[in-house]
Structures are given as C-alpha cells and as structure tokens.
Structure 1
Amino acid sequence: MKLLVTGGAGFIGSAVVRQAVRVGHEVVNLDALTYAACLENVAEVSGSHLYTFERADICDRPALDRIFSTHNPDVVMHLAAESHVDRSIDGPGDFIETNITGTYHLLEAARKNWIDTGKPDSFRFHHISTDEVYGTLPNDPSVMFTETTAYDPRSPYSASKAASDHLVRAWSATYGLPVVMTNCSNNYGPYHFPEKLIPLAILKALAGESLPIYGDGSYIRDWLYVEDHADALLLVAQKGELGRSYNIGGENERTNLEVVRTVCGILDDKRPRQDGKSYADQITFVTDRPGHDARYAIDPTRLRNELGWRPSLTLEEGLARTVQWYLDNEAWWRALQNRQGVGDRLGVKV
C-alpha cells in the first residue's frame, strides 16, 4: 500500500511509519513538527526509498491538496492530533483547531482526491481515535467500552476527538467516503514524549525528583504497547470492513499507582539508586486534575473475532522494554527536556 500518515513524527504515528516501511509499504509522512513531534522518531527509515516526508499542517488546505495530488495515497492513516489532556485544560483552542478543523480539511482534501482519481475501490480513510471519547467507567470488570458505547467526552481533548470521529462518520454517510475507524486505549513504549505518565515517571525517577501521581493513584487505564498498536492499525487499514469501527485495547488494566510502582521496580533492578532505596520512595500524591475519568477499559472482542488480532505483550513485558529503551536512549530524551511544558505541572488553569 501507499500510505499517507498524518502525525507520523509523533509517538503513535512514528511507530506506524517505522512498522509500515519495515513490512514494505510506501509511506508519506505528513507532520507539522509541533512541540511533541521529533524526526528522530523515524530516523530508522528516513533513508529508505519507501519513505517521504512532507512538512505541513493539516489545517493548511492548499498544502493538503498539493500533497494528495503529488502522492495519490491508497490509504490515509490520520493520527495528527493534539493529545495531552492537561494541555487541553490550559489551552483548548489548539485542540479545537487541530483535532476538529484539521480533520475537516483532511477529509475534504481526501474526498477531492478520491473523486479526482475516479473513486478507486482501494482507497480508504483510516481515522485513529481514543477510548476517552466514551467518558468514564465504574470500577466493575464486567463493564467495558465497546464500539456501540455512547459517547460522553469529559475533557476538551476528548470532546475534540469525539467531534472528529463524528465528522468522519458524517463524511462516510453523506459523501460515501470509504472510511474505517479505530479507538485505542492508553499507549506507551519507545519514543513516548516525556509529558505522559510512564516516560515522566522514568525520567523523574532517574533525576531523583518526586514522582507525582494525581489523587490517590486509583485511576484505572488499559495499557497498550505502541508497537502492538501499530500492528493493529496496519491490519485494520488493510482488512477492516469499510464503515466499521474497531476498539484496540491492551488487555492490561492497571491503576496509575500500580503502573508507577512497576516502573520503579524495573528501575530498581536495572539501575539501582546509589543509596540502596527504591525509586518508589519518590512517589508523591498531588492535587487531582479537573474532570479526571475514573476508569477506561476496552472490550476488544470485535477486533479479535473479525481480524484475529490480540496484543503480543503483557504490561510487565512492555514496561521492561520501555524502561530499557529510555535507559539506552538518553540522547533522545535529553534533547526534548527544554521543550515547552516538559516536566511542568499542566492542567491547573481552571
């Protein structure tokens, strides 16, 4: 396939780009290179004849039209988004602009190119979204998000992603644009920008700083290793049923406190503190963020039954790989330490 991946220099997007090139797909990486993007994330494939980079903003319609007409992709994999909940609390405007307006411009550019090229049967628009659009769940293992769960977004971030999901469905129903959709659980793994929980915990632990956890740490998330997610996305892009939505989960529910304690235990083994104490001693509990969802949990039955996909790693295996990657790639994360907001408490301007 010839893929146009938006946000391909970001965390999940770069994992898709790397994996797609590895298995022989041609990839056009469209990225605006905003604060969380890093071309080092795709350095592994940047010299490949299968890889092309286009720097552009998905809100720039003339640039999108040029890129579509130049490359004529078979599949659009739309990952470009503002994605940090805390940042959306402090500055929701960027989320509205990129996640809603940007998705609109991308849909229109894709639709124009699809029509101009004769509406090929091979074309599809794959929209990648989040489980956060569904809202929050009770602490009951029998209750999980399915593809038919009603939307109930509770943060500016999740509301903007919910809006983008609705736009994609509307463009399918109204204009016949061939689409598939996926909603994923919390991702983690290599190249994760150091403002999110797991990389933040790793780097603050190594720096000897306190490890902040919201509230009492009881919030539950389903954790998905990013390279497993990339495999699932490419599978859906190729074999997913048009007009269908698929939930992608890691089948690894843990509280935030359990996740950070596991990270600390791995670090205790791989790089012990000089004083012999555990990194878990650095854990502190901080004032909760507004509108914090209690639990997310994905029911992945549809994806498993229809396309045969399951995650390959347990959370413990994935965290061990992730911690080792950060230990081995200090130059990568050191270069990001001075970017706006990294290491700071965000999401408190209410």
Structure 2
Amino acid sequence: MNVLVTGGAGFIGSHYVKQLLGADDVARVTVLDALTYAGHVENLGEALLDARLTCVEGSVLDAVLVEQVMAGHTHVVHFAAESHVDRSLAGGPLFVQTNVLGTQVLVGAACRHQVQRFVHVSTDEVYGPLPVGEATEDDPLQPTVPYAASKAASDLIALSAYRTYGLPVCVTRSSNNFGSAQYPEKIIPLFVSRLLRGEPVTLHGRGEHVRNWLHVSDNCAGIDLVRRGGKPGEVYNIGGGTDLTSRALTGELLRLCGADWDSVLYIPDRRANDIRYAMAWDKIANQLGYEPRRDFHEALSDTVDWYRHNHGRWTPPRHACSVSLDATWEPQHA
C-alpha cells in the first residue's frame, strides 16, 4: 500500500511515519508538510534514510499540489493542522483556513483519486469541557476555543465526504499527546525546556485543569489500527492515558528536572480554558484491540531525558523536504 501522510514532519505525524515504515506491507510513504515553525524534517530521524519515504514541502491548501501528491496513494492519514489553543485565540482565521479548508481540499482530491482509506486525525477538545463523566463518539460536539471549533468543523467535513461521496473516512480523536520532539509551546515541552534552562514556568489559575496524557506512540498505534481496520464513517476515541491536573503534572516535571516550586508562577487563567476533558475509548478497544502500552511515569521521564540531551532541537532550523515531486528526497547531512 502507498500512504500519504499530511503533517508528517510534525510532532505526532513524524512519530506515526516512523511506525508506519516498520510495516512490511507499506510500499511507499509520502509526507506532505508545510514546514511551519513546528514542522521539521529532523523529526523523522533515520526514517529519512528509508528509500520508501518521499517528503514534499507544501500546504494542504494548495489544491494543485495536493492533486499531484494524491495520485497513486491508496491510503491517506491527515495530521496537518494548526493546533495550539493560545495561538488560535489571536489567530482564528488561520486555523479555519488550514484545518477546515485544508481538509476540504484533501477529501476532494481523495474522492477523485478513489483513495481506499482516509483517516482524519482530531482531538478530544471537540467535545468541550466535561466537569464529570466521559465523552463517547456519539456525543455532540461542543468546542469552546477557536482551535477546537476548527477541528470539529474539519471532522464534519471529513465525515460528510463519506456520507455524500462514499469516501472511506474514519476520524480519530485522542487525548493530549506527549513525547520526544514536540515543539515547546505545549505545556510539557515548554515547561521542560524552561526548567532545564533554570527559568520559571507559569500555571494558569490555580492549576486545577484536568487533561488526559497519552504517549504519542500509543496514539500512533491506535491511529494505525483505525487505518487498517476501522469502519468507514465511524469515529474512534483514542485514550487510556493518565488524568492529571496541570498542577500535578507540573509537580512531576519539577521532580524530573531537578527544580522546586519556587520556579512556578501563578498567573490569571486564560480566556475559555476548559476545566476538564475526558473520553471513553471502549469502542476502539473492543472493535480493534487497542490498548495503550506506555507507562506514564516512565514515558514522561524518557521525554524529559530527550529534551535534556537534545538542546539543539528545541528551536531547530527549517529545512526543505524536496524541491519537486519528481525529485528523490536525500537526507541533509551537516
């Protein structure tokens, strides 16, 4: 099979590409990535040496390029998105353009090229805040912030392509991911990079917001189960991580970074900061055999160690993927 991965040089996408190339039945993988501030081919590591991998620099909004890249691919896994909540509060139009219109461009091309499987990767934030209980795949979407609203809209765009045109679309929604090579704007890499430099970190409000933390490898494994065996037109929650308040998470990071609570500053809560996200993930477990494998504490320690030993990767330089669709990608060596 030939798989197109959008956003494959980003945090989750690059981890997924590396897992994907470990499968014997994958003949070709193409990464389409705009290489914005959070996407870097360095994230792909040794996968760049795999002859099956081709990288193309470009946006999912570029309809002509998407049409060219889509040709010859049997499967599509769509990660490409603007994803940071704080940035969405000030830059909503960009999130709508990339997340909603970009998804429309992709599903349109996928329909024309009769793609056999299209997985749209989304987030638990589309369900909105849940003070108690867990969201199931059948619950209504009640996003709060512009980022979550743009992802909810893109979910519906993708699912509409199945209902209207028969494109075999599945949607995955995961809880908060963490792991190596995540750009330091999300709380874990941001706090770790600051603490390792001896700088303070800031907690919103009283630090009582609850998130479920799932290692990126477990999310990628769940996504691939859906790509291989998910039922078209269905949504699959991918959870099973560890629930922590932001204050409890901060305590873990302080310990691992050798810092103390004097490094923590409390600041007013940000606008529309959902108090808690929670999802049930029985469906993917029962239907596809999904089970998260990484222990949270071990995985978090490994993540901190990665940042400790990769100082140069916290703000890495950008490199182009390839100059044309006809060019063969060659890894860049220093």
Residue identity in the other structure for 1:181: V
The alpha carbon displacement at 1:314 in A equals: 2.6
Deviations 1:46-94 (A, max 9, x none): 111111111111011010111122xx11110000000000000011111
1:176-255 alignment runs, 5 A limit: 176-255=166-245
User: Following the alignment from structure 1 to structure 2, what is the Cα–Cα distance between the partners of residues 248 and 334?
Assistant: 29
* 1:246/1:303 contact within 8 Å kept: yes
State the Cα RMSD in Å.
Answer: 1.4
Q: Which residue in the other structure is 2:2 paired with?
A: 2
Aligned match for 2:67, one of 51, 65, 68: 65
Decide which moves more: 212-221 or 16-25: 16-25
Aligned match for 1:132, one of 125, 145, 165: 125
Residue identity in the other structure for 1:107: V
User: Following the alignment from structure 2 to structure 1, what is the Cα–Cα distance between the partners of residues 288 and 200?
Assistant: 43
Q: Which residue in the other structure is 1:280 paired with?
A: 261
* 2:196/2:308 contact within 8 Å kept: no
Q: Can you give the 5+ residue segments of structure 1 that lack an aligned partner in the other structure? A: 115-119, 269-277, 338-350
* 2:215/2:241 contact within 8 Å kept: no
CA 1:21–1:204 in structure 2 vs 1: closer, same or farther (change >3 Å)? same
The alpha carbon displacement at 1:235 in A equals: 1.2
Deviations 1:138-162 (A, max 9, x none): 1x3xx01110111001111000000
The alpha carbon displacement at 1:335 in A equals: 2.9
Output the TM-score relative to the length of structure 1: 0.88
Q: Which residue in the other structure is 1:44 paired with?
A: 46
Q: Which residue in the other structure is 1:23 paired with?
A: 23
Is 1:169 aligned to 2:159, yes or no? yes
User: Following the alignment from structure 1 to structure 2, what is the Cα–Cα distance between the partners of residues 49 and 232?
Assistant: 25
Partner SS, residue 194 of structure 1? coil
Partner SS, residue 168 of structure 1? helix
CA 1:334–1:182 in structure 2 vs 1: closer, same or farther (change >3 Å)? closer
Residue identity in the other structure for 1:102: G
The alpha carbon displacement at 1:237 in A equals: 0.4
The alpha carbon displacement at 1:2 in A equals: 1.6
* 1:84/1:157 contact within 8 Å kept: yes
Partner SS, residue 199 of structure 2? coil
Partner SS, residue 290 of structure 2? coil
User: Following the alignment from structure 2 to structure 1, what is the Cα–Cα distance between the partners of residues 53 and 91?
Assistant: 34
Partner SS, residue 242 of structure 1? coil
Partner SS, residue 45 of structure 1? helix
Residue identity in the other structure for 1:19: Q
1:291-330 alignment runs, 5 A limit: 291-330=272-311
User: Following the alignment from structure 2 to structure 1, what is the Cα–Cα distance between the partners of residues 278 and 18?
Assistant: 27
Q: How many positions carry a matched residue from both structures?
A: 316
CA 1:336–1:258 in structure 2 vs 1: closer, same or farther (change >3 Å)? farther
The alpha carbon displacement at 1:336 in A equals: 6.3
* 2:81/2:98 contact within 8 Å kept: yes
CA 1:76–1:255 in structure 2 vs 1: closer, same or farther (change >3 Å)? same
* 1:205/1:279 contact within 8 Å kept: no
The alpha carbon displacement at 1:334 in A equals: 4.5
Identity of aligned residues (%): 40
Moved over 4 A (4+): none
1:325-340 alignment runs, 5 A limit: 325-335=306-316
Q: Can you give the 5+ residue segments of structure 2 that lack an aligned partner in the other structure? A: 319-334
